Amino acid sequence: MTNLTRASTQLFSRPDDERFESLQSLHEHCQMKRAKSLDRWQPPRSLRTTPGGGPLKLEIGSDGAFSLNDWSFTQLCRLAGVNKDTVNRLSPETADQVFRETLPRGERPVQILTTDEAVRSIHGVSYSRLWNVELLSVLTEYATDFQPPPKGANGATGLYAGEQDLFTFMIDPGAWIEIGDQPFAPGFFVWNSEVGRRSVGIQTFWFQQVCANHIVWDATEIVEFTRKHTGNVGESLGEIRKIIEGLVAKRDARRDDFAKVIAKAMQEKVGDDSDEAASFLLKHGVSRSMVKRAVEIIGEKKERFTIWSLVDVLTQLTGTIRFAGDRAEADQKVAKLLAVAA
């Protein structure tokens, strides 16, 4: 099994004003941000910085001058092809001169997202925005029994939204399944960024414990989906809905069945030695490198070669795979091993 630390990282990195007590309050906040936000399409030649006697502002055509936050300033530097750290060391007047000489002057428009008098993000035409409130609406409709975990050590709930991104951590506290002295329950992480800071995605799992640091301990059957903000990124909402529906359906079916399957998997041997265990895994599509490492670990622990011991070790190994696509494919193969015990 695998320990998941995404929520723990969020717990200790989010300031108080990015934490929310409930999904409803988070939804209302994101709805308000969307209502106040406006995309302004302008050719680069209409953009101009101005020191204004203080921090640099960005003049957007005839729409006026807007302040820049850290993220939109980073994107402006990328658009101009200048080093952010270098520009930050310059006086506002010198930095203004740098941008006047380096900002592109073409006609192909850029999309500039503003809220009130501030620039939230700057993107080219290939970027497609997915609003946080759209994602949260899917959770509100399809994850009705899920709620934030118990508050963490610093009082944060697992629900976050800031200028750069959104992150939610949800569990179903009514779906615990006792298997001996080992409890399992379903949960998921969901994330998005309206300003291009990160992809949109979801990770679902079954877990045994969440500690005060919001580390998810002993997670299994991990499913992850991510998508970049290009093209028809809105279609990702349909995929996320299907994944949540699948988790809910599996939860409902497994209130009784899951316990029986795991209990059987813990007892059912796939062989008496490493060779027989390796043959079993290869037959079910597990890569030779992972098979070799899995049987070695179980042998070192002097455990029996049961379906559960193999699933447990393989779940840990798939978590070390670098690329998300390869990791997701490996996770699916591991999850299917439990079906053998059904």
Q: Which of 172-186, 229-243, 248-262, 312-326 has the highest mean pLDDT?
A: 229-243
Are residues 237 and 146 part of one domain? Answer: yes
- Residue 115, in any domain of the structure: no
On average, the pLDDT of the chain sits at 89
Domain closes at, from 92, 107, 122: 107
CB 6 within 8 A of CB 205: no
- Report residue 336's pLDDT band, with 50, 70 and 90 as the boundaries: confident
Q: Domain range for residue 52?
A: 44-107
Domain closes at, from 201, 226, 253: 253
pLDDT at residue 181 is higher than 60? no
Measured distance CA(5)–CA(241) in Å, rounded:
23
Are residues 311 and 264 part of one domain? Answer: yes
- Residue 278, in any domain of the structure: yes
CB 23 within 8 A of CB 147: yes
pLDDT at residue 329 is higher than 80? no
- Residue 119, in any domain of the structure: no
pLDDT at residue 331 is higher than 80? no
Place of tokens 């997670």: 219
Are residues 143 and 183 part of one domain? Answer: yes
pLDDT at residue 259 is higher than 70? no
Measured distance CA(177)–CA(135) in Å, rounded:
29
Of the candidates 19, 60, 37, the residue with the CA atom closest to the CA atom of residue 148 = 19
Domain closes at, from 253, 279, 304: 253
| Between 318 and 114, the higher pLDDT residue | 114
pLDDT at residue 172 is higher than 90? yes
pLDDT at residue 330 is higher than 80? no
| Between 274 and 327, the higher pLDDT residue | 274
- Residue 23, in any domain of the structure: yes
Place of tokens 């002097």: 302
Are residues 320 and 285 part of one domain? Answer: yes
Number of domains in the chain: 3
Measured distance CA(199)–CA(196) in Å, rounded:
7
Are residues 235 and 150 part of one domain? Answer: yes
Are residues 160 and 79 part of one domain? Answer: no
Of the candidates 135, 309, 299, the residue with the CA atom closest to the CA atom of residue 226 = 135
Lowest mean per-residue pLDDT among 144-158, 254-268, 300-314: 254-268
pLDDT at residue 36 is higher than 70? yes
- Residue 224, in any domain of the structure: yes
- Residue 120, in any domain of the structure: no
Are residues 228 and 146 part of one domain? Answer: yes
Are residues 287 and 337 part of one domain? Answer: yes
pLDDT at residue 239 is higher than 60? yes
- Residue 118, in any domain of the structure: no
- Residue 121, in any domain of the structure: no
Are residues 265 and 243 part of one domain? Answer: no
Give the length of the chain. Answer: 342
pLDDT at residue 179 is higher than 90? no
Tokens of 269: 């041997």
Are residues 154 and 275 part of one domain? Answer: no
CB 166 within 8 A of CB 191: yes
Question: Does the pTM exceed 0.75?
Answer: no
Are residues 216 and 325 part of one domain? Answer: no
What's the confidence (pLDDT) of residue 86?
94
> H/E/C letters for each residue in the chain?
CEEECHHHHHHHHCCHHHECCCHHHHHHHHHHHHHHEEEEEECHHHEEEECCCCCCEEEECCCCEEEECHHHHHHHHHHHCCCHHHHHCCCHHHHHHHHHHHCCCCCCCEEEEEECCEEEEEECCCECCCCHHHHHHHHHHHCCCCECCCCCCCCCCCEEECCCCEEEEEECCCCCEEECCEEEEEEEEEEECCCCCCCEEEEEEEECEECCCCCEEEEEEEEEEEECCECCHHHHHHHHHHHHHHHHHHHHHHCCHHHHHHHHHHHCECCCCHHHHHHHHHHCCCCHHHHHHHHHHHHHHCCCCEHHHHHHHHHHHHCCCCCHHHHHHHHHHHHHHHHHHC
Which whole-number Å values give the CA distances from 217 to 7, 91, 204, 211, 245, in the listed order? 11, 49, 14, 8, 23
CB 112 within 8 A of CB 42: yes
Are residues 265 and 239 part of one domain? Answer: no
